[in-house]
Structure formats: C-alpha cells, structure tokens
Amino acid sequence: MSENSAVLSNTNARRIVLLDLDGTLTQSDAGIIACAKIALRKLQQPIPDDAEMQRFIGPSIMESFQRNHVPTELLQDGLALYRKYYSEEAVFDDPNHPGKKIPGCLLNKVYEGIPEQLIALRNAGFYLATASCKPEYQVKPICDYFGLTTLIDGIYGASRDMSRITKAQVIRYVFDEIGYDSAKGDKALMVGDRWTDADGAKECGLDCLGCAWGYAEPGELAEHGSYRIIDCVSELSTAVSEYFA
C-alpha cells in the first residue's frame, strides 16, 4: 500500500505545482545541521566546514554522509543517529517556547510570506504537492506543526526504507499517487532551491523554477538548468501563474 492514499481523479487537466520543502517553504538549516553534526560526532567522524554543512540541505542525508566519506560500514548507524535526533527525540530548546524541548525537525521556520503565496496559488486553481527528499514520515509532522498541511493538497516525500531518495524518484512517486496524466492535459512544474530539484525535474521531463532565497550556492540553479530563478518569496505565485499561462 502506498504511503499516501489520496489519489486524485484526472477527469480534468490539472496544473500541478511540486514544492520542495527545505529551503523553499521552510528555513530548516539549523535542525538539519545540528542533527548531522551529532551523528558525525557519535560516529567519530570529522565535522565538515560550514560551507559543506550547508550542502546537507537538499540531498538525502545518506547522500551527504557518502559525499563526506563516512565509511560504508557506518552509514546505517549514521542514518539511525540522524533520524533519532531529527524526528524521534526532543533534545533541542524550542526558540519560540522557552523551557520546551523539540526534535531537530522542528528547529525550523516557514519563510515569511510562504503561507500567503500558497493561498494565492490554490485560489488560482493550482494543485500543490510537496516533493521532498526528506522522508515522508518526517515531512508530514513538519507541515502539521507549521500550519502548511491545510495550505497544500498533497504531502509527499522520500521513503523511510531509502528505496525512494532522489528527487526524480519522489516526483515519479507523486505522479503515481495523484494519477498524473499528461495525455489528458496535466502539466506540472517543480519549484525548489537546489540542484537536486533542477536535476530531478529535468530527469522527469519537467521545468524547475529556482528559488534563490534557499540554500543554493552562487550560480548553482542556473548551471543545473532552472528555466527561471526568482529572488523573493513574494514573486512565487506570479511566476508560477506566468509559467502556466
């Protein structure tokens, strides 16, 4: 059985906006980096410099560990440690509620203006779905906690068992779940802030709208083929509408 049971009717052609989570909807570096560092320390692995730690946002955590030469025999332990502190144990101080502890996934915040942009897109008739390389079981609580669930039509992400971890795999999964049918006129756009979004979109035959407020390095989104790059959250709904016009 699939992880998300909501399958849509494709009676009418749909305009589908696939939304990355980290760096596109939420500013999530604090929690991701903190949990990755804990995992690396417990594995007695070197901690990369700040620039490399920023590159942990976007790809799957396993890809980031591999890129930083964590020994193969330690990868599963590293993944388990990361997940423990990111989504299972509340060990971090909640900056918004003194005295409360939260897991790393909630050491996070929604970018200013995102809720208003999502409302505008839905009011314009777009179907909105997350397409994140973060495991879906982590994506859903984040969206619930920060009030995004009610603003998005479908919440989708990577699989817990790591069988679906790349952006292209996630996009294809979303399409399967929602019954995407280009033959009936369905059209989709990927919206994201990293090379993973641009490459995954391209692999699936989609365009990618690049979001420069996220975690891309200078020139990254253009080099990976984003058809357009916007600098501010306030441009999002207009840019998407122009794409589908």
Task: Give 35-78 pLDDT, tens digit per residue.
Answer: 999 999 999 999 999 999 999 998 999 999 999 999 999 999 99
Task: Give 100-136 pLDDT, tens digit per residue.
Answer: 999 999 999 999 999 999 999 999 999 999 999 999 9
- Closest by CA to 38, choosing from 89, 3, 72, is 89
Beta-strand pair 207-211/228-230: parallel
Distances from the Cα of 39 to the Cα of 35, 79, 165, 180, 215, angstroms: 6, 8, 19, 38, 21
pLDDT above 70 covers a percentage of the chain that reads 96
- Tell me the two tokens of residue 26: 């939420």
- Closest by CA to 20, choosing from 227, 234, 166, is 166
Q: Is the pLDDT of residue 5 over 50?
A: no
- Closest by CA to 126, choosing from 15, 10, 235, 207, is 15
Q: What global pTM score does this model have?
A: 0.91
How far the first Cα of the chain sits from its last, in Å, is 36
Distances from the Cα of 138 to the Cα of 68, 155, 202, 240, angstroms: 23, 10, 25, 27
- Closest by CA to 155, choosing from 108, 163, 147, is 147
Amino acid identity at 143? C
| DSSP E strands, 142-237 | 157-158, 187-192, 207-211, 228-230
Q: Cα separation of 220 and 60, whole Å?
A: 18
